[in-house]
Amino acid sequence: MIRAKLITGEVVELKKECGCLDEIHSGPHWLHMNDFRRRQNEVAIKSALDRAEKSGDIISIMQARALIHKVSAEEIARLEEKERMMRQAGVEEIIRG
Ligand SMILES: [Zn+2]
């Protein structure tokens, strides 16, 4: 169950409002998609760093830098979207577990 502390101080459950199966996610769909994007970005950064570390050549390092730069921009966009959705829902803090 995913709960949230609202700006009013009240703690509520963040309910699912989509048709996805319970096995796919709990909580609101926007939060699921935001988590998914975060995991994708983490994987992209990790694999770019691993490749650059393994090969050690300047091209791989430049490619990793370019990818990290691109993913950083995606992370900013993701966090802006999360902030917007939280404000819209009056959520101050998401409480997981
Ligand atoms: Zn969903």
Per-residue pLDDT tens digits for 40-77? 999 999 998 998 899 889 998 999 999 999 999 999 99
Rounded to two decimals, the pTM is: 0.86
Distance (angstroms) between ligand 1 centre and the Cα of 36 equals 11
Distance (angstroms) between ligand 1 centre and the Cα of 14 equals 12
Q: Check pLDDT > 90 for residue 11.
A: yes
pLDDT at 91: 97
> Measured between alpha carbons, how far is 44 from 88 in angstroms, rounded to an integer?
29
Percent of all residues in the chain with a pLDDT value above 70, rounded to a whole number: 100
Distance (angstroms) between ligand 1 centre and the Cα of 76 equals 23
Count H helices, E strands: the chain?
Answer: 2, 3
